[in-house]
Chain A
Amino acid sequence: MKILVCVKRVPAPGARINITADGLAVDAAHLGFAMSPHEECAVEEAVRIVENTGGSTTVLTLGAIESEEQLRYAVSIGVDAAALVPTDGADWDPQRTAAGLIDGIKAIEESEGPFDLILFGNESADSGGYQVGIRVAYALDRPIVNGIKAIDIVDGRAVARRPTDAGVEEYHLPLPAVFGVREGINLPRYPTLKGRLNSKKVTVAQLETTAEAGGQQLVKLFRPAEQVSETVILGEGADAATAVVDLLQEIGVA
């Protein structure tokens, strides 16, 4: 199996995000960066599939030159090769991002042959456009299903499962296929010493794109209005149980 994972550099989850004075970007000062959580799981899944079935993994991103940090992290947990479609550092809209990745994937496949599987995160943690993987899959004429929390390769097909409120849906995709993977499909490993050494040595291939802006353009970022709610303290310790059950009965759940 040849597997490609597409990732994105985003501020580390849980960080307090500040906006630049012009409202056009996230203030990167004092921020730690990581790949989106769904994508970290996609990388782990690719590494596991290749450990089981043989083959190779490649990680690709589109972004500022600093994104090499996330590509090298992927190598440190077992990915074999890394490629970057560099941007000017600005936040590209979803259509342009997809077009840039398509250019990158086509370039890799031209020289290395086609991938059997391409994995995306279900959505990026920061912009959350829910569409880049789908646009890429459509352009490459490959099937894609999002929200995937299990992948098995069975008789040359990808059997994937997606949990919903009603149960679990199962999809059987012919290869080559594309999936949007969700956190929880696995618990990603930590880098090994050998992995760290590999990540320092790996050459990040630099790819090019001529992608142009799409129809959705950022005007400004802003913070939602803080919900001003006075917290009612029902009590301290076990003595508060009476007031809590009064409340539960008042709203009809106890």
Chain B
Amino acid sequence: MLLVVVEHDRGVLPGAAHEALTAGRLLAGQLGLSMQAILIGAAADGAAGEAARFGAETVHHAHHDLLSDYGPETWGDTVAQAALVLGAAVVLAVGTDVGNEVIAQAAARMDQPFVANCIAVGADWSVDRIRWGGSLLESVSLDAAIRLLTFAHHSVEPVEAPVPLVSSEFSPELDPSLARSSIRNRVAAEAGVTLSTAPVVVGGGRGVGSPEGFGILEELAALVGGKVGCSRVVTNSGWRPHSDQVGQTGTKIAPEIYIACGISGAIQHWVGAAASKRILAINTDREANMVNKADYAVIGDLHEVIPAISAEIRRRRA
């Protein structure tokens, strides 16, 4: 049996959960295993139908008082117990913050290897995974009694494959001390899109020139319902907060279109932007890495091009 750990935030499944179920269904098919899913905490009970819609043959509901909100140790211990009790040969999630954290916790508890951010599983457990945020790949062999892995986020296109819903209750035994690392408080984000979910990201690099220079990027982003991002040079210069950084050590984005302005396209930035559906580079340098890798480019000074784009959008709306 292959067990998919279904990520959720107080019962709401992110897109990554659909990716995990899809990856799990495909890998289970490849290995001749049944694909089952675990939903951790009663808050997620209502999501069982959604898991079955993506092909989970049995949905296990893990119930315990300590599972009322997320905690790396309570979730990790639950996954380790479920894998052993239910007899999982493979445990899989998607490599989000929570996905990697929970599988690593489970692996530590089971003293098993864990291969993070896989993109393919071949014959005899030859596994391809990403390094350097995806600018380098590696093949590894995975030798283990129970195989734990995450698939890289955005590496699997979610596909529904509905099966009848079969639910089952799973009651882990959790030591009360494990609640020490559970969430204690939350501050909700402001309403609206975030950098990682925005349909349009307008990114600025060194070429923007100053903190004030980002005003025209903000204006364009607001017109198209998008968010402003930036490169590592910009955050290291203190022009923008680190939360705006697109890149390996910042946010990985996946918009309909990424408009990269005055960004040279260093590898560290590129791996954060590579999942964008389309990239439009605006740059004075026709040979810039970003221009070469982009789908579309405008050669010119962003300080002239961006206001002209905003003006043209306003003109057509008037």
Contacts and interface: CB of A to CB of B under 8 A. Distances in A.
Interface string B181-199: 1111111110000101101
Given A26-B136, A245-B313, A252-B256, 7 more contacts: A16-B267, A126-B132, A131-B116, A143-B73, A170-B185, A224-B134, A227-B293
A94 interface: yes
Interface stretch (A1-9, A47-55, A231-239): A231-239
B142 to A, nearest CB: 6
Nearest to B274: A227
B249 A125 contact: yes
A241 B236 contact: no
Interface in A1-32: 13-14, 16-17, 19, 26
Contact of B141 (A123, A170, A217): A217
Given A125-B248, A167-B189, A248-B257, A240 B184 contact: no
B296 A241 contact: no
Interface in B87-114: 95, 97, 100-101, 104-105, 107-109, 112-114
Interface in A72-127: 93-95, 98, 123, 125-127
Q: Which of A166, A216, A242 has the most CB of B within 10 A?
A: A216
B299 interface: yes
Interface residues of A, number: 82
B288 to A, nearest CB: 10
B237 to A, nearest CB: 9
Nearest to B237: A187
Contacts of A63: none
Given A183-B242, A184-B245, A253-B256, A248 B313 contact: yes
Nearest to B277: A251
Contacts of A223: 136-137
A251 B200 CA distance: 11
B34 interface: no
B116 A245 contact: no
A238 B188 contact: no
Q: Which of B281, B309, B311 has the most CB of A within 10 A?
A: B309
